Structure 1
Amino acid sequence: MREKNRWLIALSAVAIHLSIGSAYAYSVFQNPLSETLGWERSQVSLAFTIAIFFLGISAAAFGQFVEKNGPRKSALLAAVLFASGIIGSGLAVSLGSLTLFYVTYGVLGGMGLGLGYISPVSTLVKWFPDRRGLATGMAVFGFGAGALIAGPIAAQLIGILGIASTFYILGVTYFVLMVAGASYIAKPPVGWVPKGMEPGTVSGGKYDIKGTEDLAQLTAKEASKTKRFYLLWIMMFINISTGLMLISVASPMAQEKVGMTAIAAASMVGFMGLFNGGGRIGWSSASDYIGRSRIYPIFFAIQLVAFLILPNINNVIIFQILIFIVLTIYGGGFAVLPAFIGDLFGTKQLGAIHGLILTAWSMAGVMGPLLVAYIRDVTNSYDATFYIFAVFLVVAFATSLLMVKDINRIKAIKEKKLSEKVS
């Protein structure tokens, strides 16, 4: 059998992630749904919250399914679930049923999101042992950038054809794209490495574990019993909560804090998607050289400084620059994660472990937006939100340092055993 092109494998993953990443364009549907069907804004927003919750839950639940059945079958099932959810949403709109909308967009669509997100990632890590960060960055860039493409198209279709027809057209389109991606994606042959690379080596960063073995080769069950698994979960939970907090209130926050117009704030939100996607490529590529264990302390240090400055900012340009920087880190955290999991736990059951860690996403998807809304209502200001999340970022920074310490401890033990074996 002819060997597949690993760059086409990456392109297949991008096709899948571009489709499911369209979920970030959900805000385009909020006003039309409220105005056309009379649903409250909070009711419409709840559908997205349900989808993100089921994303995290299904990523964990389907992790073993991906490892057992491979990326192709998993991505095909994701296509069926996600497309059914989008097409079903059109039916719910036609019937005016909010409950059915929650089931289709929230539950079915959310399950498709979770399975579609993890299906190609572990396979990409195996195809790119020399550039793990870049490989996973390319895939999840599609997820971050999906809204940039889907948002304007959906808005145009809603204006011309209506909400229900838009859901039907998008659902069919996503199904075709995801099936096309799934049809090519496959695992590499056992023991495969690119030319010029020695078998059994990985790229963990110039100053980390590049050119050595992964820290361990663990199953998902074994990984979940380690200290570093929970350290990583905490780090991701706080990084995601911080990003989703900003995403959920970006427009009203910009208008209230620095006096941006609604149109200008909407433009800023669009650029946030661009920086979210760009950060996934940029930070993940950098992690191949800096080292994954060193990237996360950098993430939290930068965000901490930004959150301490933001309450005192009245300048529109500086405000946007700081928001965009945080969004690159939000996206970068997702992009670096699969490669970091490979460094820490190996690729034995990377998909399953990735799914378990992504339960942090479902929890953060509820906590981040709800907490900022509550603080805003109680204090009548967004400033307190920045200080409260700054405390969380201090915790995340300390956790990331504990992770570095734990990695160094394990490496020292491995080196000691190796030297004893040699002697």
Structure 2
Amino acid sequence: MSAVPQVTPVPYQEVTDVNGRVYRIGESDRSILGRPRAWMVWLPWFAMMGVSVFEYGYSSAESTLESAHGWTLTEAFWIASIWAVFQAGVAFPAGRLREKGVLPAKPAMLAGALLSGLGLASVGHFGNPVIVILGYSVLGGTGAGLVYATCVNMVGKWYPDNKGARTGFVNGGFAYGTLPFIFVFSYWFHPGNYKLVLDLIALFMVVVVGVCGMFFKDPPKSWWPHDVDPLNRAKTEDAARVAKRLAKNPPAVGQFTPMQAIRTGQLPLMWFALVLIGGVSLFGINFQVPFAKSLGFGPLVAASSAGVLAVVNGVGRAAVGWLSDSLGRRLTLVLVLVVAGVAQFGVLWSGQAHNEPLFLFFAFLNGFGGGAFYPLFAALVPDYFGENNNAQNYGLVYSAKLVGGVGGGGVAASVISAWGYTGGYTLAGGIAFLSAATALFLRQPKRKPGESVEQKVGGLAGPTHADASS
């Protein structure tokens, strides 16, 4: 990669629709970045793959770590649960600092790279659960959370006209990026070499995330692509396609602050739905491999089921992002949550029947339903509340994983100890269906039912500005 090129400030205009929403137009992506905005898809994607090993690789490494450190199943998964708490919990404060200019995207990524590497290395060098929680869970969770939140919000800011597909693509890297490591943990990870393996993966993580983060840059507030008319008055074929997407997923009627978003009632509703399905997702990630091993399935089936879950989880995120641009974000979300509920019962039934092909099929379904909702929530937040405060607003919604992470890790381990895998998977399936029912009540704030973008827009051009901040 070359050094960040110099950019020349260009004039811009601000246009306002009848809702009072301001769109800053006239500046191209190249005039701000010095490069096409596609860089702000590919770089976050690579960075997300770099930190994916934390969430989707842990269950494959867990049995070796148990043997090496003398942990119980419950201790091992409380470490994962507390990691999820810090990974999700950092999103809102980091977003707030980012929107205020205190923690720009580049320093956030570099800090995330360093903390992630230290966190992963610590789980190999320390066996005391308290020390591992401080290293892996607190440092590693905070680092991975900084990377995750910065990458997801970066895409939403650069693609306000087409969030779904791009957000889903970047989000997917957080899942299938761990595929090589799942097989490393399943076949070449043992008490004799686990420290070296974890150190090498930690070094890889620091380098990949750090290099990608060096090139991160946010667009100006209220920026809109110069070649897309935000008021849909152009008549070209491209504009017609954009207008069709925006009719299914209309832009937010304004730029909501976090408190304004909370007062609409829609942000708390999103938060509750994500609490429910986030716990189910982490339950599937954490316990599918242990469940397969408890059934007597060999390492190939166990590793393959985890690999299928991770790959489909990631590919599914990209697919539903694209689908939601055409079908509508809320409807797509409800369908995904229903699939997640069905998958829990399918994994349980096929496992108890000792049917390996069906078990892998439902692992496929579980991977899709257990991850595809993340980019949908990530795109719904700016759809409902605007892009200017998206880092904070999405941080609030994503903080639901604080609760879901505890439920899908440590609490789930206690449930399985008491009720077995039958009780665990039955409870997870019921919770997923409750999340789908909750999502049915989501509505874009302040937009009347049945009202299209074309009925609302019709703005006035504001004054022309010379942008000195780019």
- For normalisation by structure 2, the TM-score amounts to 0.78
In 2: Cα distance, 1:182 partner to 1:310 partner? 38
Q: In the alignment, does 2:395 pair up with 1:355? A: yes
Aligned to 2:15: none
In 1: Cα distance, 2:147 partner to 2:378 partner? 14
Aligned to 1:397: 436
* 1:78 aligned residue (103, 109, 112): 112
Percent of paired sites with the same residue? 23
CA contact (8 A) 2:316 2:371 kept: yes
Aligned to 2:161: 130
* 2:47 aligned residue (4, 12, 16): 16
Tell me how many residue pairs correspond in the alignment. Answer: 414
Q: In structure 2, give the amino acid aligned to 1:389.
A: A
Matches within 5 A, 1:46-125: 46-67=78-99, 68=101, 69-90=103-124, 92-93=125-126, 96-125=127-156
Matches within 5 A, 1:287-302: 287-302=324-339
Question: Measured at CA, do residues 165 and 341 of structure 1 come closer, stay the same or move farther in structure 2, by a change above 3 Å?
Answer: same
Q: In structure 2, give the amino acid aligned to 1:236.
A: L
Matches within 5 A, 1:190-339: 192-194=223-225, 196-199=227-230, 206=244, 209-210=247-248, 212-254=250-292, 260-307=297-344, 312-313=349-350, 314=353, 315-339=355-379
Aligned to 2:193: 162
**1:30 positional shift:** 2.7
Which whole-Å deviations, capped at 9, do the CAs of 1:279-309 have from their partners, x for residues lacking one? 1111111111111111112123333444556
Q: In structure 1, give the amino acid aligned to 2:38.
A: W
For structure 2, list consecutive stretches of 5 or more residues without a partner in the other structure.
1-6, 8-29, 233-238, 460-470
Q: In structure 2, give the amino acid aligned to 1:299.
A: V
In 1: Cα distance, 2:451 partner to 2:161 partner? 22
CA RMSD of superposed structures (Å): 3.3
CA contact (8 A) 2:175 2:314 kept: yes
CA contact (8 A) 1:303 1:326 kept: yes
Question: Measured at CA, do residues 82 and 311 of structure 1 come closer, stay the same or move farther in structure 2, by a change above 3 Å?
Answer: closer
In 2: Cα distance, 1:76 partner to 1:411 partner? 43
CA contact (8 A) 2:167 2:375 kept: yes
CA contact (8 A) 2:289 2:303 kept: yes
What secondary structure is seen at the aligned counterpart in 1 of 2:166? helix
Higher relative CO (Cα under 8 Å, sequence separation at least 6) belongs to 2
In 2: Cα distance, 1:265 partner to 1:157 partner? 14
Question: Measured at CA, do residues 306 and 104 of structure 1 come closer, stay the same or move farther in structure 2, by a change above 3 Å?
Answer: closer
Aligned to 2:63: 31
What secondary structure is seen at the aligned counterpart in 2 of 1:410? coil
**1:398 positional shift:** 2.2
CA contact (8 A) 1:18 1:146 kept: yes
**1:265 positional shift:** 2.5
**1:155 positional shift:** 6.5
Q: In structure 2, give the amino acid aligned to 1:187.
A: D
Aligned to 1:388: 427
For structure 1, list consecutive stretches of 5 or more residues without a partner in the other structure.
none
Q: In structure 1, give the amino acid aligned to 2:84.
A: I
Which whole-Å deviations, capped at 9, do the CAs of 1:152-174 have from their partners, x for residues lacking one? 45677756983333333322221
Question: Measured at CA, do residues 17 and 163 of structure 1 come closer, stay the same or move farther in structure 2, by a change above 3 Å?
Answer: same
In 2: Cα distance, 1:215 partner to 1:37 partner? 54
CA contact (8 A) 1:279 1:328 kept: yes
Q: Which has the higher helix share?
A: 1
